[in-house]
Amino acid sequence: MGFLVAQGPGICTPSWGGYYTLESGPDAWDESGQIFLYDEVAAVRATGGDVVASLGGAASIPLEVACPDASALAHQLRIIVDTLGLKALDFDVEGAWLADDASVRRRNAAIMQLQTELAAEGRTVDVWFTLPVLPTGITPDGEALLADALAQGVAIAGVNVMTMDYGDGAAPDPEGQMGTYAIEAVTALHAQMTTLWQDAGLTPSPATTWSRIGATPMIGLNDVLTETFTLDDAAQLRAFAVDQGMGLLSMWSVNRDHPCPDSESVQLTCSSTEDQTEDWQFIGALGGD
């Protein structure tokens, strides 16, 4: 679920997108009436599932920028974990914030404080980082973020990469190749993570490293309009993920998993790809159903 960000510049208090408080959570309306996010979370948990809250994203002010220091940020992270009953957090770091060394270090220090505090109580929280990627792997800024997290002692459960919007220079002739480019991206990430963990004095097995890797494609038409992630691409990526034992497959985003084959632009409510003819086909392709 995303994104949790600061309520505003210099306001070290979490909100959903700057619009909804943490306490109330987002709501929306459809033909059946008003829907509350936290009711949906309870329904998911009632089936045996669970949720992860994602902090950051491409817009708004991240908490690590608004909070004055690591201790203040760690306090807010603890409030998020306790309020939502979370067992995992995701930090989506992109754009200018990925290169902001001060907020990178502050975030990692706060995560370490949170994990240490919870460990003293016999609790854990899994921490994932969601980062931009190219077919050649994550950027040097992404590598620096992970290196700093490892140096500060953060227990990183996994790294999820956004296998989307590469651009023609990085991913030429993408038609029919978006599944291949995603596989190239996570394969390159595996090599990068192996080196980063070794440099930190850690030696996880290749299989363990794969279990710490996730991929999130943008289903259907991407923001880079030459790129379309099709159902065949989804099936190709899933087969690779299963074979390697990857820890996570996701997609951006569930509200787009509907057909609208005549669309030539990115839509919020459908995938804009000709091969999708029914609702939820990408969930099926990535989930194997």
Mind listing the pLDDT tens digit for each residue in 43-55? 999 999 999 999 9
Handedness of CA 143, 144, 145, 151 (dihedral sign): positive
Do 17 and 67 form a contact (C-beta atoms < 8 A)? no
- When pLDDT is averaged across residues 57-67 and rounded to a whole number, the result is 95
Residue of 31, 40, 64, 94 with catalytic role: 94
pLDDT for residue 191 is more than 80: yes
| Run of H or E including 111 | helix 101-120
Q: ω into residue 24 within 30 of 0, thus cis?
A: no
pLDDT at 30: 86
Do 127 and 111 form a contact (C-beta atoms < 8 A)? yes
pLDDT, the chain, mean: 97
Do 39 and 96 form a contact (C-beta atoms < 8 A)? no
Domains of the chain: 2-255 (3.20.20.80)
| Run of H or E including 197 | helix 178-199
pLDDT for residue 126 is more than 90: yes
What's the CA gap between 156 and 153, in Å, rounded?
9
Q: What is the CA radius of gyration of the chain?
A: 19
What's the CA gap between 175 and 122, in Å, rounded?
49
pLDDT at 288: 84
For strands 213-215 and 158-162, give the pairing.
parallel
Q: What angle do CA 84, 88, 90 make, to 5 degrees?
A: 100
Structure confidence by residue, pLDDT tens digits, 13-31: 999 999 999 999 999 998 8
What's the CA gap between 219 and 112, in Å, rounded?
34
Q: Which residues pair with 5 in a beta bridge?
A: 15
Q: Is the pTM of this model over 0.85?
A: yes
Query: At what angle are helices 178-199 and 140-151 packed, to 10 degrees?
Result: 40
Determine the distance from the C-alpha atom of residue 170 to the mean position of all C-alpha atoms in its chain, rounded to a whole number.
21
Task: Quote the tokens at residue 7.
Answer: 């309520």
Least confident of 119-123, 172-176, 237-241, 262-266: 262-266
Do 148 and 103 form a contact (C-beta atoms < 8 A)? no
Catalytic residue at 94? yes
Structure confidence by residue, pLDDT tens digits, 78-123: 999 999 999 999 999 999 999 999 999 999 999 999 999 999 999 9
pLDDT for residue 284 is more than 80: yes
- When pLDDT is averaged across residues 265-282 and rounded to a whole number, the result is 96
What's the CA gap between 147 and 197, in Å, rounded?
8
pLDDT at 283: 97
What's the CA gap between 237 and 12, in Å, rounded?
39
pLDDT for residue 192 is more than 80: yes
